[in-house]
Copies of this chain bind each other. A is one copy, B any other.
Amino acid sequence: METITSRKNALVRRAADLSRAQARKEAGAFLCEGARLCADAAESGLNIREAFFTEKAQEKYAPYVQAIQKRAAASYGISEPVAALLSDTKASQGVYCVCDLPAAPPLLRFLERPAKGHGLCLERIQDPANLGTVLRTAEALGVETLLLCGEGCDPFSPKALRGGMGAAFRLRLYHLPSLAEAAPQLRKAGWRLLAAVPDADAEPIVALDFSRPTLLAVGNEGAGLLPASIAACDGRVTIPMRGRAESLNASASAAILLWEMMREGAEHDG
């Protein structure tokens, strides 16, 4: 395995550049960091263009490194200074890989398919760590359908990947330019659309029956859902709170809403 020690190496520079959303788009690739996360990428069947390991990492994370190498088109050793260039964190594990961005699943086919199960629409989420956490929660609770609506942060940014523990590798993420515009088609396919809002006069989440196919729309951390999106939904739903109204953060409220939506399944499991 060749070892790269120059921070000016072209492969390394291109990999480091993938921290920018625009660069990811142009290259059709993203940079993945961390032993476990890179092994998750390998396991999920993503195409790995290059893998990079420090010497320390090859010892410390040997089983992960082997699993990654097996799937990578090319593997390189890297020096610590090169690793620092690739790292988004202070405590780098020294394991990185450049992977093909998964092809966006075909939205049109999804819109034509009859509604089934439960889904989450995330509209204009701004904080990548929040987006990652919510995707991770959605995966854990078994939410089948995920729609990213409007201009939000990228689920393949380093922070979103870290927060998501690789959920983005395993979930099918549909990109929807506008929830309001797609609403009639979604409804025609059989989806009920519910807008999550922090309003005391909205339907409390515990009062709803989730036995029918439902898409729950959750908005931007500060501003919530767009007014047009709320208007396009079939109803507004909220978490009844006892303390201060604005007291739940975005990922905690998403966790509670998703849990409540998926709860019936959990009851059957129990």
The closest CB in chain B to the CB of A242 belongs to: B142
Q: Say yes or no: A206-B255 contact (C-beta < 8 A), given A140-B242, A242-B142.
A: no
Main SS class of interface, A: helix
Contact across chains for B242 and A265 when beta carbons are under 8 A apart: yes
Q: Mark A115-158, 1 if CB is under 8 A from B, else 0.
A: 00000000000000000010011011110000000000000000
Contact across chains for B269 and A240 when beta carbons are under 8 A apart: yes
Kindly state whether residue A244 has any CB partner on chain B within 8 Å.
yes
In the complex, A214 Cα to B31 Cα: how many Å?
45
Q: Given the complex, which residues of B lie within 8 Å of A259, measured CB to CB?
A: 239, 256, 259-260
Contact across chains for B252 and A136 when beta carbons are under 8 A apart: yes
Q: Mark A237-248, 1 if CB is under 8 A from B, else 0.
A: 001111110111
| Contact-residue bracket for chain A | 35 or more
Q: Say yes or no: A247-B207 contact (C-beta < 8 A), given A240-B270, A252-B133.
A: no
Contact across chains for A244 and B139 when beta carbons are under 8 A apart: yes
A–B pairs, 22, beta carbons within 8 Å: A133-B251, A136-B247, A136-B252, A137-B247, A137-B248, A140-B242, A140-B244, A141-B243, A142-B242, A165-B246, A165-B249, A204-B266, A204-B269, A239-B259, A240-B269, A240-B270, A242-B265, A242-B269, A248-B255, A251-B255, A256-B256, A259-B259
